[in-house]
Structure 1
């Protein structure tokens, strides 16, 4: 399975992928083990961006790392997650 898919465990404990990537309120409880794939993917990208940032400021500034930081920044700068503007987070580390 794709770790970035939004999914829940249904009443029969079967994994159910949610196509619309939004966990309906009735499944947003521990008993359904909800996984917000969009949130996980965004956090993964932020972590990768921060890893490049801190590597660069600590002296590991290869051209590939600098390029990766720029690509990650461009992927994240216009992203909004449940009303949170991701740019406001990553701009602190530009």
Structure 2
């Protein structure tokens, strides 16, 4: 089955959707995985936590963020401590 065009499935009265096995395999979704579901541009997106983390890292890298917020906070705290010791 080619998954380029997707696959058709039905929403049950309980609001459940079964993701066809071929799509789960292609997406790297394994039995027991926790998935994140959100709406993006009017589409429902299903991704694993690892996929979400990787996408977030790519988005941050594209935005040009070079240092982590934690590293910046630590540097500020160390500078404050050095000024306190000196002053």
Q: Give the TM-score, by structure 2 length.
A: 0.30
Q: Give the TM-score, by structure 1 length.
A: 0.28
Larger Rg: 2
- 1 or 2, which has the higher helix percentage? 1
Q: Which has the higher contact order (CA 8 A, sep 6+)?
A: 1
